[in-house]
Amino acid sequence: MARVALVLGSGGARGYAHLGAVQELRERGHEIVAVSGTSMGAVVGGLVAAGKDADFTAWASTLTGRRVVRLADPTWTGGGAATAEKLMAALDEIVGDVLIESLPIPFTAVATDLAARREVWFQRGPLIPAMRASFAIPGLFTPAVVDGRVLVDGGLLNPLPLEPTAAATADFTVAVSLQGPREPHEPTSPARGFSVRRAEWAADLRRRFRRGEEELTESPEAPAEAPPADAVDVRPDVRTAEVVSLAFDAMQSLITRYRLATLPPDVLVTVPLSAARTIDFHRAGELVDLGRTLTKAALDDAGR
């Protein structure tokens, strides 16, 4: 058995793969002695540190596309498209009102202070608000305000927070990045393009995001729930959400490459961007399995 420092990256719904990585580490008898996470990595990391990740996995596996939209709590004010208050309430039911410093495993959640343009490491204080601050993707979720700071997603500056675990007493570090290339040899050099008339690209854009909206509201894993008779259609602007998430992914992929070059982990698990969209939170089962498969291969390659 080895002592493992675990680093969990940002990437929205692909973060379910973190749960599979944890399952594989435990199956091999490894002990997780420190966890750091950004965005969805902070959510899963906090649950792991609290010993509640199995409960979360069971809950997430019941989500459908319609339930995901409702949990997001769409809004039209406050600096974002959704508040996620219902999601926070669900996490509170799973974890309870606990302090980060009282968790069985040392944990760090990373957020971004917009005004100061610097990372904020939460290592003390209530766990749920730290999670909320860490996953506030700009444009999608409303920012969190803590101690006068306006905080958003930690992935804005640090999509794979290796630094908080650098001093941990561990035998090796496992980092799970959710920013892998869509293809094995995805090019990173600039591409030459040709401009087209605005009507052409506008039509293509509408077709693409109409398909995305249909996929989100109809889950392939379970029949959609019938809304209450008096329900109001509060779907967020899914097309805008996908534009924001794709832009965020592009930025985080570049930052992750630089971070890994500066402080490489002993074992790197890479989940490709093509595994799921940021908003595909109704696909927990398959993404947990993918995370376990990729972690098994990475550990085998490293002889761990």
Residues 53-93: pLDDT tens digits? Answer: 999 999 999 999 889 888 888 776 667 778 888 999 999 99
Choosing from 39, 134, 177, 219, which is the catalytic residue? Answer: 39
- Quote the pLDDT of residue 226: 39
Which residue among 53, 73, 113, 153 is the active-site one?
A: 153
Q: How far apart are CA 193 and CA 238, in angstroms?
A: 27
Q: How many other CB atoms are there within 10 angstroms of residue 283's CB atom?
A: 24
Enumerate the β-bridge partners of residue 7: 36, 175
What average pLDDT does range 233-262 have in this prediction? 77
Give the number of other CB atoms < 10 A from CB of residue 231. 9
So what's the pLDDT on residue 182?
74
pTM: 0.83
Structure confidence at residue 211 (pLDDT): 59
Active site residue 153: yes
Share of the chain above pLDDT 90, in %: 62
Q: Is the pLDDT of residue 242 over 90?
A: no
Provide the pairing of β-strand 31-38 with 3-8.
Answer: parallel
Average pLDDT over residues 173-198: 76
Handedness of CA 160, 161, 162, 168 (dihedral sign): negative
Judge whether residue 286 has pLDDT over 70: yes
pLDDT for 221 equals: 45
CA quadruple 135, 138, 140, 143: dihedral sign: positive
Q: 2-11, 131-140, 204-213: lowest mean pLDDT where?
A: 204-213
